[in-house]
Amino acid sequence: MAVSTNDLRNGMSLDLPEGLFNVVEFQHVKPGKGGAFVRTKLKNQRTGAVIERTFRADEKLDQAIIDKRAMQFLYRDGSEYVFMDTTSYDQLQVDTSQLGDAPSFLKEGDDAVLQFYGSEIVGVDLPAAVELSVAETEPGIQGDRVSGARKPATLETGLVIQVPLFVGPGEKVKVDTRSGEYLTRA
């Protein structure tokens, strides 16, 4: 579907010759001399690389239609993750490489929104924060109460994050899925 550069919006997906891109930022510029143009910042959905590109005003670009489907993570099968579509109950096996950083935050029974472009998975939308239990960490030492001191902790998904000294094994912690940082105890 063709869309004019005058109609660009943040978050819009474009199918350009270089690949599938997401509009991060755009700016319409009308110089005093010459024709108007649109300056954009685009993020490649497959590689994550950000490029800057300038288009003429009213230039036609191909808009990519991204289909978002609510899925539930069922279990891990070797190097693949098995998801179930929550509307049709169809099961889908997805290779770990297609999920990006999402496997670090997914445990069995969690919900996620998979983004499809045709039959290809181009992204995963996770909640802003997830609750995971601490599988392994060193015990805090009595009297070691330096404010802001941190120690490494391995979570149930295998993700290693920095947590405060008072967090022990078996406790549930809230983790930010965008940055991978500890937020609070759950």
d(CA 152, CA 106): 20
- Read off the pLDDT band of 72 (50, 70, 90): very high
pLDDT digits (tens, 9 = 90+) for 93-104: 888 888 888 888
d(CA 127, CA 14): 24
- Residue 102 is which amino acid? A
**67-125 has which CATH code?**
2.40.50.140
The yes-or-no answer to whether 2-62 and 67-125 have a common fold is: no
Residue 125 DSSP class: E
**Would you state the pLDDT for residue 97?**
83
Q: Which CATH class is domain 129-185?
A: mainly beta
Q: Domain limits of the chain?
A: 2-62, 67-125, 129-185
**Would you state the pLDDT for residue 77?**
87
**Would you state the pLDDT for residue 96?**
85
d(CA 36, CA 28): 7
d(CA 173, CA 159): 12
For the chain, how big is the Rg over CA atoms in Å? 21
More confident: 44 or 148: 44
**2-62 has which CATH code?**
2.30.30.30
- Residue 27 is which amino acid? Q
- Read off the pLDDT band of 40 (50, 70, 90): very high
